[in-house]
Amino acid sequence: MTDTMIARLPEVDAFLSRASGSFIDGEHLSGSGRHADIIDPSNALSLTRLGLADEAIVDRAVASAKRCFDNGIWRGMKPAQRERILLKFADLVEAHGEELAQLESLNQGKSIHIARMVDVGFSVDFMRYTAGWTTKLEGQTTSVSIGMPEGAEFHAYTLRQPVGVVAGIVPWNFPFMITLWKVIPALAAGCSIVIKPATETPLSALRLAELALEAGVPAGTFNVVVGAGSIAGQYLAEHPDVRKVTFTGSTAVGKQIGHAAVDHMARFSLELGGKNPMLVLEDADLDKAVHGALMAGLLNQGQVCAAASRFYVHRSLHDAFCERLHGAIQGMSVGPGLDPAAQLNPLVSRRHQQSVLAHIERAQAEGAKVLRGAAVPEEGFYVSPVVLSGVTQQMTVAREEVFGPVLSVIPFDKIEEGLAMVNDSDLGLAASLWTNDLSQAMRLIPRIEAGTVWVNTHVTLDASLPFGGVKQSGIGREFGREAVEACTELKSVCIAY
């Protein structure tokens, strides 16, 4: 820790004393049952203590969302009016940006710079972009050829209507941003929503629910249940009054949620992380590729679903690539997220820190060479980043999502061999290709099995560009028109005259 730590805004402390548990019908609930400490990952100390939702509280949240949907106040508003309220919500998030960034950094552990630029900055753009779809949802008129009864004429069209109550289940890596990825498309479509944040990181979702209310989103339209995934999360996904479930997290839990949703025919979308490759061809700009790898692999300590974790590098560049990565991770400064000088911050929890350390040990036991980064403090949930060389495709570290600062480098000789290893994965969220050979890039892009392919960049998201996975990385897309349409039902109308 350096002496440059930024001072906490009084608004952050005021919120920490105000938050008490779930947020339903526009009010904080205190809850009388189980409570949990919300931990600062940089020192393992409690930031606040919140009441945890049981099934009865989830029932209240869903009932509140359903009442708001059924009374039609939100979905019945003129689209332009709903758009104005969502834009006001974005303005409030922007105006409270520093407070929100501090809260996110304190609770998640991440760098204040990332919290300001990505969590808040990107989210404000995302909110404004997505709010714009409120006024642009449309159906189609179709040309029907119905031949009976004889002489009848027909007019047919499709109508987009909000699906109903949406449940959003959110992980701990970008709790603020991913909450908004669930909330804004749902509200833009005219739905109401219940968010269940991860147990470790519920704070920013609660603050967002307050700001939505202040912007004019009717009380009960956006509720937050703070509770365990296995209890509150599971019960929410199974709830018969939930019409759509949108989930981001692990593949195993995603499958359970998909099954729970199908059991009551709720729509669902699953964003399930990746084991994302970077393919560095012989002609690539090494400086750019190394810089890109550090960004793509270490952003948020590697706790990013689209992070690059498998680096397939042409043999002619391989040694220089490993050396440069190793040099960079040795020189990194370490500290809490609120220390603006720190380049490396803690992971979210003790549990996750132990899981990442176990992956590194296992990789070493399976034969990878471990190149270690800067030393990290004992206190807090830090993990020193590592570059693994000598990794093979069969090693666990090349196959399973680690979700930490672990960069596995694998050389290849022929492009076909590199491509085969890129696609040799159960997961398929994103991939990047590093080359200046346009023809090669154009030929490879369609052959890479991933929901997103970047060229000479990685982890660059935009609100207009649909994002989601293929294979075990999930079902459905967030962002763009798709995200809002996924919160609607398409009704077909046929009128005889």
250 lies in the site for ligand NAP, by CB under 6 A: yes
| For ligand NAP, the closer CB: 14 or 358 | 358
470 lies in the site for ligand NAP, by CB under 6 A: no
Least Å from the CB of residue 227 to ligand NAP:
7
* Chosen residue from 234, 269, 408, 432 binding ligand NAP by CB under 6 A: 234
Q: How far is CA 125 from CA 86, 91, 117, 130, 461, in A?
A: 12, 10, 11, 8, 11
| For ligand NAP, the closer CB: 105 or 488 | 105
| Coil, helix or strand at residue 268 | strand
109 lies in the site for ligand NAP, by CB under 6 A: no
CA torsion angle 287 125 202 199 (round to 10): -50
How many CB atoms are closer than 10 A to CB 4?
11
Nearest to 392 by CA among 371, 416, 367: 367
Are the C-beta atoms of residues 91 and 83 closer than 8 Å to each other? Answer: no
15 lies in the site for ligand NAP, by CB under 6 A: no
Helices (H) and strands (E) in the chain, counts: 16, 22
170 lies in the site for ligand NAP, by CB under 6 A: yes
396 lies in the site for ligand NAP, by CB under 6 A: no
The footprint of ligand NAP on this chain (CB under 6 A) covers a number of residues equal to 26
Among 83, 99, 200, 271, the active-site one is 271
Least Å from the CB of residue 424 to ligand NAP:
19
Paired strand residues for 157: 141, 493
Least Å from the CB of residue 213 to ligand NAP:
22
| For ligand NAP, the closer CB: 190 or 249 | 249
Q: How far is CA 229 from CA 169, 173, 233, 475, in A?
A: 9, 15, 4, 20
172 lies in the site for ligand NAP, by CB under 6 A: yes
104 lies in the site for ligand NAP, by CB under 6 A: no
Least Å from the CB of residue 23 to ligand NAP:
16
Site for ligand NAP in 400-419 (CB under 6 A): 401, 403
Single-letter code of the amino acid located at 260: A
| For ligand NAP, the closer CB: 349 or 389 | 349
* Chosen residue from 220, 233, 346, 468 binding ligand NAP by CB under 6 A: 233
Nearest to 92 by CA among 209, 185, 10: 209
Are the C-beta atoms of residues 410 and 421 closer than 8 Å to each other? Answer: yes
| For ligand NAP, the closer CB: 175 or 380 | 175
Least Å from the CB of residue 351 to ligand NAP:
8
Least Å from the CB of residue 243 to ligand NAP:
17
* Chosen residue from 16, 106, 224, 272 binding ligand NAP by CB under 6 A: 272
Stretch that binds ligand NAP, among 84-92, 225-233, 411-419, 485-493 (CB under 6 A): 225-233
21 lies in the site for ligand NAP, by CB under 6 A: no
Paired strand residues for 279: 312, 433
Paired strand residues for 218: none
* Chosen residue from 109, 258, 273, 277 binding ligand NAP by CB under 6 A: 273
248 lies in the site for ligand NAP, by CB under 6 A: yes
How many CB atoms are closer than 10 A to CB 145?
5
Query: What are the backbone angles phi and psi of residue 289, rounded to the nearest 5°?
Result: -65, -40
| For ligand NAP, the closer CB: 173 or 345 | 173
* Chosen residue from 90, 169, 211, 313 binding ligand NAP by CB under 6 A: 169
Least Å from the CB of residue 91 to ligand NAP:
28
Are the C-beta atoms of residues 308 and 458 closer than 8 Å to each other? Answer: yes
* Residues 407, 405: Cα–Cα separation, whole Å: 7
Nearest to 85 by CA among 38, 144, 135, 24: 135
Q: How large is the C-alpha radius of gyration of the chain?
A: 24
Side-chain-side CA neighbours of residue 428 (13 Å): 17
| Upstream peptide bond of 377 is cis (omega within 30 degrees of 0) | no
| For ligand NAP, the closer CB: 247 or 412 | 247
Residues 6+ apart with CB under 8 A from 354: none
198 lies in the site for ligand NAP, by CB under 6 A: yes
Examine the residue annotation and report whether 305 is marked as an active-site residue of this protein: yes
Least Å from the CB of residue 186 to ligand NAP:
17
Among 83, 191, 238, 305, the active-site one is 305
* Chosen residue from 142, 158, 230, 492 binding ligand NAP by CB under 6 A: 230
**The residue to which tokens 């490759």 are assigned:** 277
**The residue to which tokens 């996924």 are assigned:** 486
Site for ligand NAP in 289-328 (CB under 6 A): 305
Paired strand residues for 334: 344
257 lies in the site for ligand NAP, by CB under 6 A: yes
Examine the residue annotation and report whether 271 is marked as an active-site residue of this protein: yes
How many CB atoms are closer than 10 A to CB 301?
31
Least Å from the CB of residue 196 to ligand NAP:
6
Catalytic residues: 271, 305
Interface contacts to ligand NAP, rule CB under 6 A: 169-173, 196, 198-199, 228-230, 233-234, 237, 248-250, 253, 256-257, 271-273, 305, 401, 403
